[in-house]
Chains A and B, each alone.
Chain A
């Protein structure tokens, strides 16, 4: 039932990229243009974003109460985390989840493919999947900072400061978060691309979302039984939610290097997979004549 618990931010994300004439020499510039136009569109929806805070607040509030109950004393550690760290961990993962919701783009890709719109988008002078990623980046780079500010506010008022937080590590955390968001989007796009073969990919999105939610968002990896932990480190969860949030609540250099390396590998593999599926899908489209 939580398949759609994150309501997409409403917005007329119409195709904004129009004139591709003068950008032939700079192949990357077109993605910048796509990014910019969506960014501008999204600024208008700041008000709608604000309404999404309510649900975010509800979640965080529940976790604050829940962990408040689970920790019997203020000094207790659960899986090596203090109560503050545990709550900040959830706040960070939920912030990424709300602020960089990829369900909208994923749904759009599935609709483009099923609805036949892909035939028009495919022949434009850009790679369809990168076009989608650029648009998605335009969307979240407006929403995420707002959620981040909101999260810090809630944290400061209701939870208290993080014990070992140092501002100097912030750029690395941001980089890690951006990579995590992008990897997540790439995987969700891969699922949507299966729309070339099957009619409805949303059930698979639910499962993916749920995997991320249950295993990655609510709890840090350390809380699971010892035997499961190596296995969990191999799933995208490790790079998508655990990594960025862990660095915020408990920054360690060796952890940081490990996570960034894992993210690089994941991004490369994910993109390779995405291009491969896309190419096969398009081929199939030609064979069947759309």
Chain B
């Protein structure tokens, strides 16, 4: 059991390493991609400086808290895209029957699929998030909390994408829904939850994992609360279990490339 897990990790590690090696074939492109993504993310700071010139708080957040939240979103998204970028093209893989190669390997299909691609700009996102949080001087404890929430955030992001992407086993056009919902998650997540009230707020805590995976951690980073921390961990765990279950349930309906041939 333990050796199996070790071997599985070794394969994932190799896969990710090879992905990065592939992207690094052209060093100039690689470096500009990373550097420009950091710049690109940083440009949003202009917006916050302007808004905080107008008022001392936005939705109950101080500038520092907003920056921490934004750092967490960027780092989580970056980590997810660095390790599991393939989740974003899962609908395409399912519809076009491209899971075969993963299904004939004696390893976990899901991990094999997820780790088979990386997005280099994700390194930029991740770096930016870490830099931003370091600038806010969260202290050692705060920094570890940030790292923990970056991991849970990345898992939540991946799981949510997996859940929506796996619906492609049943329905068409799930790629569009997946893309829209993920963008929605990032966009809502980068603004303080205090500006949303009433039903919208409830929806954002229930329907899209913005509240539980991004806002609540931001609150815990601002003011530590053990119960909230556990709630975040529990939520991310349940979301992941649900996503994995849906994927494997759908995999039974996987039609490989045969459907495409039949369509002709």
Contacts and interface: CB of A to CB of B under 8 A. Distances in A.
Chain A–chain B contact at Cβ < 8 A? yes
Interface of A: 1-3, 5, 7, 10, 48, 51-52, 54-55, 58-59, 61-62, 65-66, 68-70, 78, 198-200, 202-204, 206-207, 210-211, 213-215, 218-219, 223-224
Contacts of B44: 2, 210, 214
Interface stretch (B142-150, B175-183, B228-236, B239-247): B175-183
25 contacts: A1-B77, A1-B125, A2-B41, A3-B121, A5-B183, A10-B176, A58-B184, A58-B188, A62-B188, A66-B59, A66-B195, A69-B58, A69-B194, A69-B195, A70-B55, A203-B35, A203-B36, A203-B37, A203-B40, A206-B36, A206-B37, A214-B43, A214-B47, A218-B47, A219-B47
Given A5-B183, A199-B26, A203-B36, A219 B58 contact: no
Interface residues of B, number: 42
Nearest to A54: B180
B40 A207 contact: yes
Nearest to A78: B54
Contacts of A1: 37, 40-41, 74, 77-78, 121, 125, 186
B136 interface: no
Contacts of B194: 69
B125 A215 contact: no
Contact of B195 (A52, A65, A224): A65
A66 B28 contact: no
Given A58-B188, A66-B191, A200-B32, A214 B46 contact: yes
Contacts of B55: 70
Contacts of A223: 50
Contacts of B180: 7, 51-52, 54-55
B39 interface: yes
Nearest to A1: B125
B41 A207 contact: no
B50 to A, nearest CB: 6
Contacts of B51: 66, 70
Nearest to B44: A214
Interface string B196-239: 11001000000000000000000000000000000000000000
Contacts of B41: 1-2
Contacts of A224: 50
Contacts of B47: 214, 218-219
Given A7-B179, A51-B177, A65-B196, 7 more contacts: A2-B41, A5-B183, A51-B173, A70-B54, A206-B37, A210-B44, A214-B43
Interface in B115-145: 121, 125
A62 B40 contact: no
Contacts of A78: 54
B187 A62 contact: yes
Nearest to B197: A65
Interface string B65-104: 0000000001001100000000000000000000000000
A234 to B, nearest CB: 17
- Residue among A52, A54, A215, A219 facing the most chain B CB atoms (10 A cut-off): A54
Contacts of B28: 198-199
Contacts of B58: 66, 69-70
B7 interface: no
Contacts of A10: 176
A206 B40 contact: yes
B29 interface: yes
Closest 3 CB pairs of A and B: A203-B36, A210-B43, A65-B195
B33 interface: yes
A156 to B, nearest CB: 19
Contacts of B200: 61, 65
A212 to B, nearest CB: 10
B50 A219 contact: yes
B76 to A, nearest CB: 10
A215 B78 CA distance: 24
Contacts of A66: 51, 58-59, 191, 195
A211 to B, nearest CB: 7
Nearest to A223: B50
A65 B36 CA distance: 30
A62 B204 CA distance: 12
A215 B46 contact: yes
A204 B39 CA distance: 11
Contacts of B197: 65
